[in-house]
Amino acid sequence: MFSSDEPLNLDAAGTITDLSPFFGGKLTVHMKRLDLIHPVLGGNKFFKLKYIIKKIKEEGHPGFITFGGAYSNHIAASALTAKLAGLKSTGIIRGENHDQLNPTLSFAEKCGMKLVYISRSDYKQRYSEKYQDNISKEFDNLPVIPEGGSNILGVKGASEILNNNDFNYDYYTVPAGSGGTATGLAISLPVKKKLIVYQVLKAKDIITEKIELFCSEMNLQSVENYEINTGYHLGGFGKLSSELIEFIRSFEQQTGVLVDPVYNGKMLYGLFDLIKSGYFPESSKILVINTGGGQGWYGFIQKASKNYLSNINSLLLN
């Protein structure tokens, strides 16, 4: 199980792993290893939260409120960030309370996060300003961080994921759930570069809408250097299949990189399929953004059906 005491290693964000042999060797495919920054705060989490937390502290708030599902990477990362920043945190959790907490919520609680459970129908209101205002008033007028840390400050942080050393590729790939990271990458890329976004939700056009909304809120012109791919959610958000597990197992055995099944596993599955179908021109150079989320595996171990459990344990323990 992960620990809140593990050090943050921002230098690891510069680590590049060559995946070209796994993808057939005809194209250059590299991975930017944001996952190595930290087991919980790695990936996109550090970048999305840093300006949000900075503003909360500058404004003198003692803490914040945020939203997430029971296995949310964002909940785990927000709880740890609050602990490290000396802030109180409240997590509004979708679904019912259970006597035995899953690994994600147990970690969040150990970091000091207060967990509040609401019905799935109430949770659907989480993006409503009125609902967020009511939640804030209920908890001492604390500021609300949106689900996934996706607001204009989260986008600002995500826009710093890439640096000048990363701009020598033709294509960039990233998985997306709430759209903040995808927007940050899109606005940071030179115009002639192409970002391929793998949407992990079934909902039609939701990431496109998010990117356009964030650009509008930031008074930026709408970006056009991205493409949303909705064909690889593989059943929907958080859905797991034997096919996906086997792909992740094969990827880990051949590359030495274990990716999560909610975001990065599906992105890589989709990328593999696109490369196999000849989508990319010859000699293309592709940079895959590993957004972390490895802590989610522990939740899958706990909730997986017997059909998948032995495969997951084998994947993680080998």
Are 264 and 223 within one domain? yes
Domain count, the chain: 2
> In this structure, what CATH number is given to the domain that contains residue 107?
3.40.50.1100
Are 288 and 231 within one domain? yes
Are 50 and 115 within one domain? yes
Q: Supply the range of the domain harboring residue 89.
A: 45-149
Are 165 and 61 within one domain? no
Are 127 and 188 within one domain? no
Task: Give the contacts of 83 (CB within 8 A, at least 6 positions apart).
Answer: 4, 89, 111, 112
Are 91 and 176 within one domain? no
CA angle 32, 33, 35 (to 5 degrees): 140
Torsion 71-75-81-85 (CA) sign: negative
Which residues on neighbouring strands pair with residue 116, listed in sequence order?
92
Q: Within a domain: residue 25? A: yes
Residues 115 and 109: beta-carbon distance below 8 Å? yes
* Residue 8 burial class via C-beta count within 10 angstroms: exposed 0-12, middle 13-18, buried 19 and up: middle
Residue 40, φ and ψ in degrees, nearest 5? -115, -45
Task: Give the contacts of 290 (CB within 8 A, at least 6 positions apart).
Answer: 31, 32, 33, 34, 35, 43, 257, 259, 264
The tokens 């033709």 sit on which residue? 170
Q: Within a domain: residue 3? A: no
The torsion of the CA quartet 82, 238, 194, 43, rounded to 10 degrees, works out to 30
What is this structure's pTM?
0.91
Are 228 and 202 within one domain? yes
Question: Tokens for 229?
Answer: 């791919």
Closest CA to 8 of 47, 52, 65: 47
Per-residue pLDDT of the chain (318 residues; tens, 9 = 90+): 566 778 889 999 999 999 999 999 999 999 999 999 999 999 999 999 999 999 999 999 999 999 999 899 999 999 999 999 999 999 999 988 877 888 899 999 999 999 999 999 999 999 888 999 999 999 999 999 999 999 999 999 999 999 999 999 999 999 999 899 999 999 999 989 999 999 998 877 789 999 999 999 999 988 889 999 998 887 778 677 888 989 999 999 999 999 999 999 999 999 999 999 999 999 999 999 999 998 888 766 666 544 444 554 555 544
